[in-house]
Amino acid sequence: MQSAKKLVIKVTAGAEAPERCSQAFTVAAVAAASGVEVSLWLTGESAWFALPGRAAEFELPHSAPLQDLLESVAAAGTITLCTQCAARREITEADVLEGVRIAGAQVFVSEIMADDARSLVY
């Protein structure tokens, strides 16, 4: 059995479910630091973290700062904001952090179906 070379993580939780949100970002950052190719998808309420300053506002005791986790994933991987989630929140490409792409289900399915990929949803 071949090991995964890419990890696709979809995070659906934001500040309303802080532990689940933090877990997704933590796993993504640890994987990226371990040399795994990471693709982090921001969907649902996590869509807000595609905007400048939003991750810095997030707080959860005994967890790494979300801003630091987001920056480490961005430096070593890909961050994608869901097209529909962005539209529902009136977020455009002009609004998001540098390096964040906006893409939809077709791209997500393509990523998770790759032979060398594993996926997680939080």
Q: CB of 111 within 8 A of CB of 2?
A: no
pLDDT of residue 3: 59
pTM beyond 0.85:
yes
Beta strands 100-103 and 78-82, pairing class: parallel
pLDDT at 7 over 80: yes
Mean pLDDT of 116-122: 97
- CA separation for the pair 95, 89 (Å, rounded): 11
pLDDT of residue 1: 46
Q: What is the pLDDT of residues 72-116, one digit of tens each?
A: 999 999 999 999 999 999 999 999 999 999 999 999 999 999 999
Q: What is the pLDDT of residues 10-27, one digit of tens each?
A: 999 999 999 999 999 999
Q: CB of 38 within 8 A of CB of 9?
A: yes
- CA separation for the pair 122, 19 (Å, rounded): 10
Q: What is the pLDDT of residues 56-73, one digit of tens each?
A: 999 999 999 999 999 999
Q: What is the pLDDT of residues 32-47, one digit of tens each?
A: 999 999 999 999 999 9
Select the more confidently predicted residue: 74 or 2: 74
